[in-house]
Amino acid sequence: MKFYTRNETRKINVGGVVIGGGSPVAVQSMTNSDTRDWKATVRQIKQLQEAGCEIVRVSLPDMQAAQNVRRIKKHIKIPLVADIHFDWRIALEAVKQGVDKLRINPGNIGAKERVEALVKEAKKARIPVRIGVNAGSLKSVHNFSDNLSRAAELVKAAMQHVKILEKCDFYDIAVSLKASNIATTAEAYKLFASKRNYPLHLGITEAGSIFSGTIKSCAGMAIMLYEGIGDTIRVSLTADPVEEVKTAYSLLQSLELRSSGIEIISCPTCSRTEVDLIKIVSQMEAEVAKMKFLKKLKKPVKVALMGCVVNGPGEAKDADFGIAGGKNIGILFKNGKAVGKVKPQDWVKKLVSLIKKMN
Ligand code: SF4
């Protein structure tokens, strides 16, 4: 039972992946290959697919990149979103090439007539459009020094475009309102959610490196997800995009919004710890990452690796099974109850075999 409820949003269909309306929060990422190099882009998308990415976005800086959309799509299994800035004609080409969704930036897409022309084509192709507002490309946002006014400015920009689309009788809309400041972003999403029920794509833009960006993205998105806001997420990291997907799933798993796969619980270690728990946990994580069958698990598995038998089983009582350390030994337990002993060098092997048996 979740401790919070999600907002009721409209459903949109992005190439077979449903976003909104209570669907699982979808995990997105974006390539950083040169889209003009379609082979390199396909290679990267395949890595993202393998990591569990459900929707992938590519930027289309020019016509040559847009003309690669069909070719790229032929080689991948997940929906492809075209990210368009400035030139609306590139967006038209992407639609012609069979893209699954468009992302336009109100800060630079230009005149209303251009947006209307795009919407007409998106409607014919039956693909959704994301209105992706970004504080960095809206000069007016920076006229304000307080977060609430900046948030209101982001929402104002989004609403202007939402209304253009609605006037065209087009409702397959997703919206994002990203800023690099958490308070501005969270307030903007909250304000928008009070006005319209279009599904929301969450993200903290320019979040930073793998370490600081992960913390900032998770801190920001957790605030919104906890409030029931958010239908799809993209963690933005200055890193290999595969890391974005891994981080997104860990965040959603920690909030109990997605629960496929294996969750590893481990204690922080202390003076009672008598095994090399740090090493064992990193070995276990590496094994879990290799277990391709994870996606097929019917029931999520919680595995606990604890440093001692004094507090270990109690602290991990929600785990399906786990091991708590003693002097050169580990007590194997199921649902908090001791059921056997395992030597520290065999912990990972034992747990992996138990997970496999559950499958
Ligand atoms: S489970 Fe045991 S070893 Fe780990 S932090 Fe708690 S008391 Fe320390």
pLDDT score, position 260 = 61
Q: What is the mean pLDDT of residues 39-60?
A: 96
The answer on 124 and 29 residing in a single domain is yes
> What single-letter amino acid sits at 29?
S
The answer to whether residues 301 and 279 belong to one domain is yes
Model pTM?
0.88
**What pLDDT was estimated at residue 95?**
97
CATH code for the domain of 337: 3.30.413.10
Q: For residue 318, what pLDDT is reported?
A: 80
Q: Please check whether residues 57 and 169 belong to one and the same domain.
A: yes
In whole angstroms, give the CA distance from residue 250 to residue 22.
20
> What's the rounded Cα separation, in Å, for the pair 67 and 93?
7
Domain boundary among 205, 238, 254: 254
Does residue 2 form part of some domain? no
Take residue 342 and report the two structure tokens written for it. Answer: 């395992």
What mean pLDDT is predicted for residues 295-315?
81
Q: For residue 258, which of 214, 212, 295 has the smallest C-alpha distance?
A: 295
Q: How far apart are CA 281 and CA 80, in angstroms?
A: 36
Q: Any idea what the Cα angle at residue 228 is, between residues 139 and 58, rounded to 5°?
A: 50
Structure tokens at 217: 């993205």
Kindly give the distance from the C-alpha atom of residue 271 to the centroid of ligand 1, in angstroms, as a whole number: 8
**pLDDT, tens digit, 9 for 90 and up, residues 341-354:** 999 999 999 999 88
What per-residue confidence (pLDDT) applies to 26? 97
Are 151 and 40 part of one and the same domain? yes
Ligand 1 mean position, distance from CA 254 (Å): 21
Q: Which residue has the higher pLDDT, 345 or 313?
A: 345
Same-domain check for residues 20 and 147 = yes
Which structural domain range is residue 344 located in?
262-358
Cα separation, 278 vs 283, whole angstroms: 9
Q: What would the pLDDT profile of 322-337 be if each residue is shown by its tens digit?
A: 999 988 899 999 887 8
* Whether residue 199 is found in the same domain as residue 65: yes
How many separate domains does the chain show?
Answer: 2
Mean pLDDT of the chain: 90
Ligand 1 site, residue 310, Cβ cutoff 6 A: yes
**Separation of alpha carbons 1 and 23, rounded Å:** 16
Task: Using the 3D structure, point to which of 254, 280, 295 is the last residue of a domain.
Answer: 254
Q: Is residue 3 part of a domain?
A: no
Question: Which residue minimizes the CA distance to atom 2 of ligand 1?
Answer: 308
Q: How remote is the CA of residue 284 from the centroid of ligand 1, in Å? A: 18
259 token code pair: 């629960």
Last residue of a domain, one of 254, 289, 306: 254
Q: What is the pLDDT of residue 1?
A: 38
pLDDT score recorded for residue 61: 92
Taken in order 142, 61, 236, 188, the sign of the CA dihedral is positive
Q: How many Cα atoms within 13 Å fall on the side-chain side of residue 171?
A: 8
Kindly state whether residue 6 falls inside one of the protein's structural domains. Answer: no
Supply the CATH number for residue 86's domain: 3.20.20.20
The CA distance from 267 to 323, in Å, is 11
Percent of the chain at pLDDT exceeding 70: 96
Q: Residue 1: inside a domain, yes or no?
A: no
The 10s digit of each residue's pLDDT in 199-252 is 999 999 887 899 999 999 999 999 999 999 999 999 999 999 999 999 999 999
User: Which value, to the nearest 10 degrees, does the dihedral of the CA atoms of residues 82, 23, 154, 234 take?
Assistant: -50
**Is the beta carbon of 271 within 6 A of some atom in ligand 1?**
no
